[in-house]
Amino acid sequence: MKKTLIAAAITAIAIAPGASAIEVYKDSKNAVAIGGFVDARVIHTQDTTEVVNGASRINFDFSRQLKDGWRAFAMLEWGVNPFGSSEIVYNNKFESVQEEFFYNRLGYAGIAHDQYGSLTIGKQWGAWYDVVYSTNLGFVWDGNAAGVYTFNKDDGAINGTGRGDKVVQYRNAFGDISFAVQVQLKNSSFYTCDAENISQQDCELLWQGGAADAQQVDFNYTYGGSVSYQLAEQLTLSAGINRGEFDVLYGTGEQITAVDLIYGVGLTYGNFDAEGLYVAVNANKNENHDTDNIGRLIRDAYGLESLMSYRFDNDFRVLLSYNLLNAGDDYVIQPNNTDPDDVFKRQFVVMGLHYIWDKDTVLYIEGRKDFSDFSSADAAQEARMSVSEDDGIAIGIRYTL
């Protein structure tokens, strides 16, 4: 396998799964392309049926040839919500419930060379995503067990495993091996409280008042890396790690430091968009890396994602995926006034049928069956934990630019 082919495959991750683009300008030095898609769907879940946005987006890819084989480039991508707000919280909060018409998804600039690799700075897909992206290809329900969309299904910006904020990243490939290393240079300070629908200002007031269930959190630099090895023409093995640290000061004055750590492996066979069989699986172990469905930090958990699909020669594609994020019981860092018998186990199966009318137009139907366990002696809490993990079915169209 030539280095340029591997590098191209990994670089495609930097934009989005299944992304394509239209070149709108090119001369001997500069090029500009526009990409993205509009995804409109009707979903039934939580006893509600609505028209919702399916993570629609638009991006602009700029490239400039420099001397001595170097290239400069930049990517700007915004999420687009053309269908208005939705009351349904069913997948990724940052993409499915965003009320603004435009919101930032990616924005970075960098330089690249065929021999010396690439260096990028900005908001971009983390190195960890190289390990797990291959199971994140379902259109409606995906990616909630691989440690990407952390902090109650947000975009992974805080700890750099998803679309990380303020990331400096280096990539290169040698033969059948490609790798990425990164550092997230940020200084984040915020307040968290064990209460729903509470503002940062109100949470800070509780913390200042000495509340035991209010915390001031400082979460600064994170570090990560991944490596991928092309075992065969259609078989790739990947591994990666990401690490950061929280400094937590409770309203009572107690202070702790919690290490945010995730590591794991992934295996991918085939090409999701090509005819034939596609299989992907990844597994991870994580500590203090994510929150439960009401915002409490999970002490440790393990995650598993798998996806199998088959595209027939008549352009129908069937898919089946299984996702599990299991923290067991007594999983919340104390003291959060939490019952140690509370259970967190996110577990669901997704089945889907796609009709690929052409490579840029897909009609689809996907359904989810949930097997999660959020057992608690507090029935109201259990209901709040369960609401976004409901069974559901969705039909839609994805129109790619």
Q: Which of 327, 321, 319 is nearest to 346 (CA)?
A: 327
Q: What is residue 5's DSSP assignment?
A: H
Per-position b or e across 168-178, b if 16+ CB within 10 A of its CB? bbbbbbeeeeb
Please, are residues 29 and 67 in contact by the beta-carbon 8 Å criterion? no
pLDDT at position 345: 95
State which H helix or E strand residue 3 sits in.
helix 3-13
Calpha distance 88→80 (Å, rounded): 17
Please, are residues 7 and 123 in contact by the beta-carbon 8 Å criterion? no
pLDDT at position 250: 86
Q: How far is CA 171 from the centre of its chain?
A: 19
Please, are residues 113 and 69 in contact by the beta-carbon 8 Å criterion? yes
pLDDT at position 311: 98
pLDDT at position 152: 63
Q: Which two tokens stand for residue 79?
A: 């999420």
Q: pLDDT of the chain along its 401 residues, tens only? A: 444 444 444 455 554 444 578 999 999 999 999 999 999 999 999 899 999 999 899 999 999 999 999 999 999 999 988 877 655 555 543 343 455 677 889 999 999 999 999 999 999 999 999 999 999 999 998 768 999 988 766 788 889 999 999 999 999 999 999 999 999 998 888 887 777 678 888 899 999 999 888 888 888 899 999 999 999 999 999 999 999 998 888 888 888 888 999 999 999 999 999 999 999 999 999 999 988 888 788 999 999 999 999 999 999 999 999 999 999 988 987 555 678 889 999 999 999 999 999 999 999 999 999 999 999 998 988 898 888 889 999 999 999 99
pLDDT at position 13: 53
pLDDT at position 95: 40
pLDDT at position 10: 47
pLDDT at position 327: 94
pLDDT at position 87: 57
Helix (H, G, I), strand (E, B) or coil at 129: helix
- Say what the pTM is: 0.89
pLDDT at position 334: 55
Amino acid, res. 229: Y
Helix (H, G, I), strand (E, B) or coil at 385: helix
Please, are residues 400 and 364 in contact by the beta-carbon 8 Å criterion? no
Kindly tell me the burial class for residue 69, based on how many C-beta atoms sit within 10 Å of its own C-beta (0-12, 13-18, 19 or more): exposed
pLDDT at position 99: 58
pLDDT at position 153: 62
